[in-house]
């Protein structure tokens, strides 16, 4: 059982959803991102997604784009991302890298898989890579016992859901909002039906990302999803701190604790799961 599978299993044993938090490596600096991610782990994140900054983040909204740009301007490179993974994974929290595929290809797929595994990373979330085009990654991840997290969406057909989830490991990422990433003031009506359709074709845990920004929204998703994925809300706390790291860490801790409380809220649908 991988670290990601163990994290979801622990959450299920506690009759709750897992909290999955995202922050880019190198944002606002490499060392500061390590401290931020460790704070999120201490405050209640079960799984951490470490973003690999990329110059053409077409699927990301303005908040994450701004963070990635800061990281790139600070000189963050793939080797730095792997160092962040190593330092964060040392805390014992399940640690994934979320990345567009081009940087992995440029680094070398086999080399990236080996270095990620050596750093203690659990696998990759690849938003712009589909299983059809993932042959080298499927081979390398299997060779190094790394999880492969692919995305499904409300537009996915049943055939596509079955095919995609059949190539996932760790969990399935259900992107329940059409369009770019970003925190929202309400949850998506598409999330529940997507989880239901996905659950019909796989036994893997299903994590939902729809722009969750607070504990109340997390509790809504925790009623039916196995994992609640939060990204832009965490990034926004760091951006709003405007270089004041003490404030950023305090705000990240407060948000994580609020979200962690939300996923632990008893809900009828989860209580009977």
φ, ψ at 266 (rounded to 5°):
-65, 130
Q: In the annotation, is 86 catalytic?
A: no
Contact 226, 11 (CB under 8 A): yes
| Residue spans of alpha helices (H) in 108-180 | 109-118, 135-143, 158-166
φ, ψ at 146 (rounded to 5°):
-105, 145
Q: Which among 6, 15, 56, 60 is annotated as catalytic?
A: 60
Q: Which among 49, 147, 226, 251 is annotated as catalytic?
A: 49
Asked if the bond preceding 38 is cis, omega within 30° of 0, the reply is no
Q: In the annotation, is 49 catalytic?
A: yes
What is the b/e burial string over 212-247, where b = at least 16 CB atoms within 10 angstroms of the residue's CB? bbebebbbbbbbbbbbbbbbbbbbbbbbebeeeeee
DSSP count for the chain of H helices, then E strands: 13, 9
How far is Cα 70 from Cα 204, in angstroms, rounded to an integer?
A: 35
φ, ψ at 194 (rounded to 5°):
-65, -45
How far is Cα 227 from Cα 173, in angstroms, rounded to an integer?
A: 9
Contact 105, 74 (CB under 8 A): no
What string of H, E and C letters represents the secondary structure of 203-244? CCCEEEECCCCCHHHHHHHHCCCCEEEECHHHHHHHHHHCCC
Residues annotated as part of the active site:
49, 60
């Amino acid at each position: 059982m991988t670290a990601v599978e163990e994290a979801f299993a622990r959450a299920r044993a506690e009759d709750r959803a897992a909290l999955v938090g995202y922050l880019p490596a190198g944002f606002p600096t490499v060392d500061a991102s390590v401290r931020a991610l460790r704070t999120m782990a201490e405050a209640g994140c079960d799984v951490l997604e470490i973003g690999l900054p990329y110059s053409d983040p077409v699927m990301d909204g303005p908040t994450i784009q701004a963070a990635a740009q800061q990281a790139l301007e600070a000189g963050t490179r793939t080797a730095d991302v792997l160092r962040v993974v190593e330092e964060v994974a040392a805390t014992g929290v399940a640690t994934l890298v979320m990345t567009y595929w081009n940087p992995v290809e440029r680094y070398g797929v086999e080399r990236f898989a080996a270095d990620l595994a050596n750093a203690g990373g659990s696998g990759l979330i690849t938003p712009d890579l589909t299983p059809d085009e993932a042959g080298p990654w499927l081979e390398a991840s299997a060779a190094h016992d790394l999880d492969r997290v692919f995305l499904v969406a409300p537009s996915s057909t049943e055939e596509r859901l079955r095919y995609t989830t059949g190539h996932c490991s760790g969990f399935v990422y259900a992107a329940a909002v059409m369009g770019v990433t970003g925190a929202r003031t309400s949850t998506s009506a598409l999330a529940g039906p997507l989880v239901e359709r996905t659950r019909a074709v796989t036994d893997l845990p299903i994590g939902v990302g729809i722009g969750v920004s607070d504990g109340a929204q997390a509790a809504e998703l925790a009623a039916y999803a196995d994992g609640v994925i939060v990204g832009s809300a965490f990034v926004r706390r760091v951006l709003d701190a405007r270089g004041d790291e003490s404030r950023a860490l305090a705000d990240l801790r407060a948000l994580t604790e609020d979200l962690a409380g939300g996923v632990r809220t008893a809900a009828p649908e989860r209580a009977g799961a």
